[in-house]
Amino acid sequence: MIPIRPTARFPSAHAATPDDRFALPDAEPCRTRASRTRASAAAAALAIAALSLVPAVGDAQRAPAPPSARASAPIDLTGYWVSVVTEDWRHRMATPRKGDYESVPLSAEGRRVADQWDLERDNAAGLECKAFGVGGIMRQPGRLHIAWENDDTLRIDFDAGSQTRLLHFDPVANPPPDERTWQGYSVAEWERPPAPSNAPVRAPIGNSTGPVAAGGGGRGLRGGPPPPSTISDGGALKVVTTGFREGYLRKNGVPYSADATITEYFHRLPEHPNGDVWLLVVTIVEDPLYLTEPFYTSTHFKREPNGDKWNPTPCRTAPPPS
């Protein structure tokens, strides 16, 4: 078998509909949500494989095996990270009232569904994890533990709701499951800036006297040293997730549908002068059913030295204000 690595980029997350993006030209129409999920996820894997193969066919027999995702990681995301809730505080640290869907570009159908939210009914139906699915879990205050499940699968554990996500760099080896889950099926790829070339050196400008930083200087931080340039080369992890169960973007029943596509970019930011290391997760939810436009959030987590504060809790949503 020819080693396959999803080096080709996904088409833009802002183009077309999720199904359009991943469907093969001769794909059969989907009849049910479950079958559509399987079909689209499998199609995604095949599309990636096909795109990856195109430039490699000629060299297939003699090309060395590419490094694993773990070996080729441009940034280190592993470790414990804690969410620092400076935005959407009242929607994240507490459960807002029903009907408070401020900031979310809900469609009329989305509002209708949100207005029907009933926490007790969800709990009675065993749907306690609806606010802890892939569309809402990043916004739940909590801690992440990121580790390599294997050389081509990154694992994220969440102590809020005791959830786990697997990010597959090799979707062929890890095909989508038959059943939808709260966390869905995630395909991952590294993004990185192009390798340096022998570009002409920058001429000294102004009163710069020190070494030239990659891409231009910018020293001179009052009160502290500039951020080190070695901690991260600015790469990113892109993750596209499908195949999940319908869930909540917010604790108070603001919905996303099973037809949505969720694209995420994980960034490890250059180390702050005080030593803090931040993880930024940009999330784009595109939902043809409940949203009128892509829903953008960016969530930040601060690196912790260890798992001492790791505190797994079951899926549970506090009641809204009375």
Partner 1 sequence: MRALAFLLLAAAGPAAAQLSLSGEWVGRYHEDFADRIPGDVQGDFTGVPMNDAARRYAEAFDVTRVAVLEHQCQPYNAPHIYRGPLQFRIWEEKDPATQQIIAYRKYLGTYQQWRTIWMDGRPHPPEHAPHTFMGFSTGEWHGDILTVTTTHIKKEFYRRSGIPSSDRTTMIEHYIRHGNLLSHVVIVTDPDYLTEPYITSQEFVLMERGNQNWLYNCEYAMEVPKPKNDVPHYLPGENPFIRDFADKFGLPFEAVWAGAEAMYPEYMPTVEALMHGQAQ
Partner 2 sequence: MTAALRIAFPALVLAALTVGTASAHHSFTATYFEDRTIEIEGKLLQFLFRNPHSFVHVEAPDENGELRRWAVEWGGAGQLSGQGVTSQTLRPGDVVTITGNPGRNASDYRIRMLYLRRNSDGFDWGRRPGETFD
Using CB under 8 A, list all residues that contact partner 2.
97-103, 105-106, 111, 115
Which entry of partner 1, partner 2, none binds 269, CB below 5 to 8 A by partner kind? partner 1
In 50-110, where do the E strands start and end?
79-83
Structure tokens at 116: 């029907």
290-309 residues near partner 1, rule: CB under 8 A: 295-300, 309
Q: Name the region of 278 (left: φ>0; alpha: ψ -120 to 50; beta: rest).
A: beta
Closest contact distance (angstroms) between CB of 122 and partner 2 is 19
52-91 residues near partner 1, rule: CB under 8 A: 74, 82-90
**Which of these ranges, 116-124, 168-176, 182-190, 313-321, lies near partner 1 under the rule CB under 8 A?**
313-321
Which entry of partner 1, partner 2, none binds 205, CB below 5 to 8 A by partner kind? partner 1
The Cα–Cα gap between 26 and 207 comes to 62
Residue 16 is a binding residue for partner 1 (CB under 8 A): no
Q: In Å, how far are 1, 77, 123, 238, 299 from 281, measured between CA atoms?
A: 35, 11, 29, 10, 5
Element (H, E) at 168: strand 163-168
Closest contact distance (angstroms) between CB of 134 and partner 2 is 24
Smaller CB separation from partner 2, 142 or 253:
253
Residue choice 77, 104, 131, 254 for contact with partner 1 (CB under 8 A): 104
Chain center to CA of 216: 30
Backbone angles phi, psi at 261, to 5 degrees: -120, 135
Closest contact distance (angstroms) between CB of 192 and partner 1 is 7
Smaller CB separation from partner 2, 105 or 235:
105
Q: Is 63 exposed, middle or buried (0-12, 13-18, 19+ CB in 10 A)?
A: exposed
Smaller CB separation from partner 2, 105 or 227:
105
Closest contact distance (angstroms) between CB of 252 and partner 2 is 11
Residue choice 236, 239, 240, 277 for contact with partner 1 (CB under 8 A): 236
270-289 residues near partner 1, rule: CB under 8 A: 270, 272-274, 276, 278, 280, 282, 284
DSSP state string for 200-234 = PPPPP-TT--SPPPTTS-----TTSPPPPSSS--S
Residue 25 is a binding residue for partner 1 (CB under 8 A): no
Which entry of partner 1, partner 2, none binds 111, CB below 5 to 8 A by partner kind? partner 2
Smaller CB separation from partner 2, 66 or 105:
105
The Cα–Cα gap between 37 and 11 comes to 18
The Cα–Cα gap between 195 and 153 comes to 24
Which entry of partner 1, partner 2, none binds 153, CB below 5 to 8 A by partner kind? none
Q: How far separated are the first and last CA of the chain, in Å rounded?
A: 60
Smaller CB separation from partner 1, 63 or 214:
214
Contact (Cβ atoms closer than 8 angstroms) between residue 276 and residue 303: yes
Residue 197 is a binding residue for partner 1 (CB under 8 A): yes
Residue choice 55, 177, 226, 314 for contact with partner 1 (CB under 8 A): 226
